């Protein structure tokens, strides 16, 4: 029985840990974890119908005075005997994934990005988004059932949240920022009795705040999707279909469909029949392979586009559309400037930080037009084991693959995030950064790259030369959320023109954009010659007619 595993980490110890991590968090206002702002949107549509035969509010086991997250989990596991084991088999738990096609070790634990670069060595902070409790360093016990956090996904009381620096634990004592308390300390018993199917608030608690703040990372995932209108997202429209994330990211036994590490760039199966697959998050799995239903020429033509264009390419005309900006560039090289020996921030006219001593310069943007690339779903991550040529900048952090003629590839919209970040300038690979921690080795405390990189690489067990420099990087984020109403979808003429959205995408013929230049030149030449000939002939006729009148024969 999973519930019978004894807890080693008592509530007292947790409080100590929390207090310790909080002590060095006060100068980071952009938080990946924020307290719920208001009641959750009810009636969200999930992949399975809400409701059942049990009212969690009536369970005696949930009426106790829970002192810690793991205590709640133990109570959950008393009935849901397989839940922890199921969660432990997923990415939400392991943050570790091996791509079976490329053999590359991926997952948050392993990949490098151009935000805070890496998780390892920054645990108590990064792992505030782990679906577990207590991942504060490499000693975390991934086999311990009560370390699974049930509430972050299932709390529907709008009171539960994770301490931004608590290694996944909720705050057990007030979280202070200066003199101000942030949020409220969750009432774990109330949260435990409120549980239900995950809503946008639950997934969004982490996924809307990736990269260190609201909307920072993904581009089309931010807090504006908590209760969006139809203009922002036709599916999540709170007054319309009101889809929860799991309506598309269908979940069975805690395994959900759809992951950036295993992208379905094309779905050739389409709408499943009753009894067939349900574990797909593709548009086609609901809309079919001929998604435009009309019999007019436009719809018929658009259906022929489906093989070459991801649905998102037209139906996500722009990202960061909900009023929350996303980060388009992050330049680490300018970080570390101090005023009076203290880190500082520069904010834009809307009060949003655009420079922070701890992180460097940012570019924020809203309503961003995506960039488009052929994409077959395969992404190689430029992790530290891969050497690159720094002469060829920007260095792609996650090179995507795909070609025009390839039946597995389609044109996809991307947020292209650029950055400038440290790399090992001798061995020519990226480095893992230790940015968050209690000692001066952490960059956000000591502002010393040598120490930060040394600590980060040591935590990964990787060697580095000891010499670093900054390199321009680029990272590709496929866009799939913020689906606009059909009337706002990208119009034909936005791509079928020389200066359109696909102007830079080479290797295929597209009417309105491409033409054989020599044919155009010859054609225009022919028309010019003919026109000149006709005009000349006509003029000569006029001249001769005039002369004949002058000199009648």
CB of 507 to another protein, least distance (A): 8
Tell me if 296 contacts another protein by CB under 8 A: yes
Scanning 306-358, the segments in alpha helix (DSSP H) are 311-315
Enter the tokens of residue 524: 């225009």
Residue of 1, 297, 391, 487 that binds another protein (CB under 8 A) = 297
Tell me if 537 contacts another protein by CB under 8 A: yes
- With CB under 8 A as the contact rule, which of the stretches 144-152, 227-235, 276-284, 302-310 interacts with another protein? 302-310
Enter the tokens of residue 360: 């460097």
Tell me if 527 contacts another protein by CB under 8 A: yes
Residue of 59, 261, 355, 508 that binds another protein (CB under 8 A) = 508
- Residue 390 exposure: Cα atoms within 13 Å on the Cβ side: 16
Q: Please compute Rg for the chain using Cα positions.
A: 29
- With CB under 8 A as the contact rule, which of the stretches 6-14, 185-193, 460-468, 485-493 interacts with another protein? 485-493
* Residue 323: CB atoms within 10 Å: 12
Closest CB to another protein among residues 61, 289: 289
CB of 550 to another protein, least distance (A): 13
Closest CB to another protein among residues 181, 301: 301
- With CB under 8 A as the contact rule, which of the stretches 161-169, 171-179, 278-286, 519-527 interacts with another protein? 519-527
* Residue written as token pair 């990208």: 490
Residue of 96, 141, 307, 450 that binds another protein (CB under 8 A) = 307
Closest CB to another protein among residues 428, 497: 497
Enter the tokens of residue 343: 């880190």
* Residue written as token pair 């225009």: 524
- With CB under 8 A as the contact rule, which of the stretches 253-261, 279-287, 298-306, 458-466 interacts with another protein? 298-306
Give residues 487-506 in contact with another protein (rule: CB under 8 A). Answer: 491-493, 496-498
- With CB under 8 A as the contact rule, which of the stretches 137-145, 190-198, 412-420, 540-548 interacts with another protein? 540-548
Residue of 10, 303, 359, 481 that binds another protein (CB under 8 A) = 303
Tell me if 57 contacts another protein by CB under 8 A: no
Tell me if 526 contacts another protein by CB under 8 A: yes
Residue of 26, 98, 173, 304 that binds another protein (CB under 8 A) = 304
Total of residues contacting another protein (CB under 8 A): 44
Nearest of 30, 476, 409 to residue 219 by alpha carbon: 476
CB of 304 to another protein, least distance (A): 4
Host H or E run for residue 456: helix 449-460
Residue of 405, 487, 550, 551 that binds another protein (CB under 8 A) = 405
- Residue 176 exposure: Cα atoms within 13 Å on the Cβ side: 7
75: burial class by Cβ within 10 Å (0-12, 13-18, 19+)?
A: buried
- With CB under 8 A as the contact rule, which of the stretches 90-98, 150-158, 373-381, 518-526 interacts with another protein? 518-526
CB of 250 to another protein, least distance (A): 29
Host H or E run for residue 443: helix 443-446
Handedness of CA 414, 418, 423, 429 (dihedral sign): positive
> What are the angstrom distances between the C-alpha of 399 and each of 107, 149, 376?
16, 33, 12
End-to-end Cα separation, the chain, in angstroms: 122
Enter the tokens of residue 325: 């900006």
Closest CB to another protein among residues 392, 491: 491
Closest CB to another protein among residues 16, 532: 532
Enter the tokens of residue 405: 């003629």
Tell me the residue length of the chain: 553
Tell me if 391 contacts another protein by CB under 8 A: no
Phi, psi at residue 9, to the nearest 5°?
-100, 105
| DSSP reduced 3-state for 440 | coil
Tell me if 37 contacts another protein by CB under 8 A: no
* Residue 237: CB atoms within 10 Å: 18
Residue of 336, 399, 404, 485 that binds another protein (CB under 8 A) = 404
Enter the tokens of residue 206: 């982490």
Q: Which residues pair with 263 in a beta bridge?
A: none
Binding site for another protein (CB under 8 A): 296-298, 301, 303-304, 307-308, 404-405, 407, 491-493, 496-498, 507-509, 511-516, 519-520, 522-524, 526-527, 530-531, 533-534, 537-538, 540-541, 544-545, 548
């Amino acid at each position: 029985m999973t519930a019978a595993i004894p807890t080693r980490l008592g509530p007292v110890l947790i409080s100590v840990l929390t207090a310790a991590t909080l002590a060095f968090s006060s100068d980071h206002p952009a938080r990946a974890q924020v307290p719920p702002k208001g009641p959750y949107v009810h009636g969200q549509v999930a992949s399975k119908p809400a409701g059942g035969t049990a009212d969690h509010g009536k369970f005696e086991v949930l009426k106790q005075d829970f002192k810690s997250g793991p205590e709640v989990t133990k109570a959950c596991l008393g009935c849901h005997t397989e839940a922890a084991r199921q969660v432990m088999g997923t990415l939400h738990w392991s943050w570790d994934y091996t791509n079976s096609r490329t053999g590359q070790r991926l997952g948050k634990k392993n990949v490098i990005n151009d935000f805070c670069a890496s998780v390892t060595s920054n645990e108590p902070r990064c792992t505030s988004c782990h679906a577990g409790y207590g991942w504060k360093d490499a000693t975390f016990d991934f086999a311990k059932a009560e370390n699974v956090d049930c509430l972050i996904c299932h709390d529907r009381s709008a009171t539960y949240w994770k301490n931004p620096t608590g290694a996944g634990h909720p705050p057990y004592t007030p979280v202070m920022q200066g003199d101000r308390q942030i949020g409220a300390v969750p009432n774990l018993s109330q949260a435990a009795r409120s549980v239900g199917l995950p809503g946008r608030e639950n997934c969004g608690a982490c996924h809307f705040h990736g990269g260190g703040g609201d909307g920072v990372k993904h581009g089309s995932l931010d807090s504006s999707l908590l209760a969006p209108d139809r203009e922002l997202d036709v599916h999540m429209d709170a007054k319309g279909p009101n889809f929860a994330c799991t309506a598309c990211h269908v979940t069975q036994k805690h395994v959900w469909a759809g992951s950036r590490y295993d992208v379905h760039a094309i779905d050739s199966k389409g709408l499943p029949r009753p009894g067939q697959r349900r574990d797909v998050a593709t548009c086609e799995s609901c809309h079919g392979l001929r998604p435009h239903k009309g019999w007019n020429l436009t719809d018929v033509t658009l259906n022929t586009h489906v093989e070459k264009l991801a649905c998102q390419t037209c139906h996500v005309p722009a990202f960061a559309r909900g009023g929350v900006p996303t980060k388009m560039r992050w330049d680490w090289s300018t970080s570390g400037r101090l005023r009076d020996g203290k880190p500082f921030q520069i904010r834009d006219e809307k009060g949003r930080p655009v420079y922070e001593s701890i992180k460097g310069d940012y570019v924020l943007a809203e309503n961003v037009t995506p960039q488009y690339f052929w994409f077959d779903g395969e992404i190689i991550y430029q992790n530290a084991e891969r050497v690159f040529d720094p002469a060829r900048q920007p260095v792609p952090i996650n090179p995507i693959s795909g070609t025009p003629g390839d039946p597995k590839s389609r044109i996809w919209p991307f947020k292209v995030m650029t950055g400038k970040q440290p790399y090992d300038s001798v061995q020519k690979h990226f480095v893992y950064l230790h940015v968050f921690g209690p000692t001066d080795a952490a960059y956000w405390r000591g502002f010393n790259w040598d120490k930060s990189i040394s600590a980060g690489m040591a935590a990964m067990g990787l060697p580095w030369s000891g010499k670093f420099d900054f390199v321009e990087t680029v990272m590709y984020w496929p866009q799939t959320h913020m689906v606009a109403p059909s009337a706002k979808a990208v119009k034909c003429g936005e791509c079928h023109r020389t200066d359109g959205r696909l102007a830079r995408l080479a290797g295929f013929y597209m009417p309105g954009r491409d033409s054989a230049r020599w044919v155009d030149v010859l054609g225009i030449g022919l028309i010019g010659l003919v026109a000149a000939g006709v005009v000349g002939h006509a003029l000569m006729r006029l001249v001769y007619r005039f002369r004949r009148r002058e000199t009648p024969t």
